[in-house]
């Protein structure tokens, strides 16, 4: 009878160890997910700021272009300054738009969590 009790204790110890391992893995993955969620929040905020900069600079470009057209009819001496301002705003808007596009193109949310989950799945598939 003592052998049966020892086997039961061994089985319960194995199940307990397995449960602890599963909980540790789940806790680790949850912590990773929370860290990545924080990073994604910052990336989103950064992209939002760049989009705002793009829109403001584009609006400024359009305003300067309008003023340039109005001044061309009045006095040609101020034209160089206004054209330079317009080109500067257009260049800044282009750079902001390019950076925003690159950030959104390379955006891979929760990549660390997905990678770790794929590794876990591969490890479990190997053992099956």
Could you tell me which residues come within 8 angstroms of residue 36 by beta carbon, excluding any fewer than 6 positions away?
109, 110, 111, 112, 113
Per-residue pLDDT of the chain (128 residues; tens, 9 = 90+): 556 677 777 787 888 788 888 888 888 888 888 888 888 888 889 999 999 999 999 898 888 887 777 677 666 666 777 777 788 888 988 998 899 888 888 877 777 777 877 787 777 777 76
Nearest-angstrom CA–CA distance, 110 and 11: 37
Nearest-angstrom CA–CA distance, 56 and 41: 22
* Domain residue extents for the chain: 2-122
């Amino acid at each position: 009878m003592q052998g049966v009790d020892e086997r039961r204790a061994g089985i319960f110890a194995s199940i307990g160890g397995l449960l602890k391992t599963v909980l540790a893995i789940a806790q680790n993955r949850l912590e990773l997910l929370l860290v990545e969620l924080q990073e994604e929040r910052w990336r989103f905020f950064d992209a939002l700021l760049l989009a705002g900069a793009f829109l403001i600079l584009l609006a400024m470009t359009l305003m300067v272009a309008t003023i340039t057209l109005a001044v061309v009819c009045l006095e040609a001496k101020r034209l160089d300054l206004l054209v330079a301002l317009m080109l500067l705003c257009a260049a800044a808007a282009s750079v902001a738009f390019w950076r925003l596009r690159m950030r959104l193109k390379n955006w891979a949310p929760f990549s660390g969590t997905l990678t770790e989950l794929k590794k876990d799945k591969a490890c479990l598939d190997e053992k099956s």
